[in-house]
Structures are given as C-alpha cells and as structure tokens.
Amino acid sequence: MATENILMHCVKKGGNRQVLHEHIRIHSVAAAKKIKLDGGDNDLLDRICGDLAFNLTRVSIEALIDPVQFTGRAKGQTEEFLIEVNMLLEANKDLLGADVKIKV
C-alpha cells in the first residue's frame, strides 16, 4: 500500500506509471532478497529514495507512507469503544469490587 502512495504521487508529478511501477518491482525484489537470503534490513525506501526516476527525498517519502494514512477510522473507533467501556465500568463499579481505570 505504501509503494502505491509513492507511485501515485510521482505519477501526479508527471512520472511514467509503467516505468515507476517497474522500478518499484525491481527494488522490492532486491530488498526482499536482501532480507530473505542475507538476513539484512529492509532497505526498500532507501532504494526508492536513491532512484532518480522517483525524484523524492527521504522526508517526502516518509510523509507519503505515514501510518496514519492507512488506519482509517481505527483511532476514532477505539476511542469510542473505550468511552463505552469506561461508562460500563463506572456504572458497575460496585459490582466489580475493584477500582478499574483504562488509560491508552
């Protein structure tokens, strides 16, 4: 998903989708080989950053792959759920026999 964001960003800037897709494929295969065969670190983003076809800095790549972009409503749903749980705990605190607080 992250490489799709990188690809589409570069296409919007005028890059050739087919060429960039092939570059991502080549870099992905090389990074996977390094991880699986050599036990190395995942250097996919470094490879893309160093590829002039993308013309991206590490900072711009990091912005494109910000995990928040991939979580949708998960944060809000979790917060809503915890509010409900806390209300239930408060309403039933006498039955629990313990002081329960949830903090995230």
Hey, what are 28's tokens? 């992905």
* Domain definitions of the chain by residue range: 2-70, 72-104
Q: What is the reported pLDDT for 19?
A: 97
The predicted pLDDT at position 90 comes to 86
Predicted model pTM? 0.68
Dihedral Cα 48, 52, 58, 60, nearest 10 deg = -100
Q: How far apart are CA 20 and CA 4, in angstroms?
A: 10
Is 2-70 assigned to CATH 1.10.40.30? yes
Per-residue pLDDT band at 101 (split at 50, 70, 90):
confident
Residue 103 pLDDT > 90: no
- pLDDT band at residue 70, thresholds of 50, 70 and 90? confident
Distance between CA atoms of 24 and 18, rounded to whole angstroms? 10
- What pLDDT, on a 0 to 100 scale, did the predictor assign at position 8? 96
Alpha carbons 48 and 32: distance in angstroms, whole number: 14
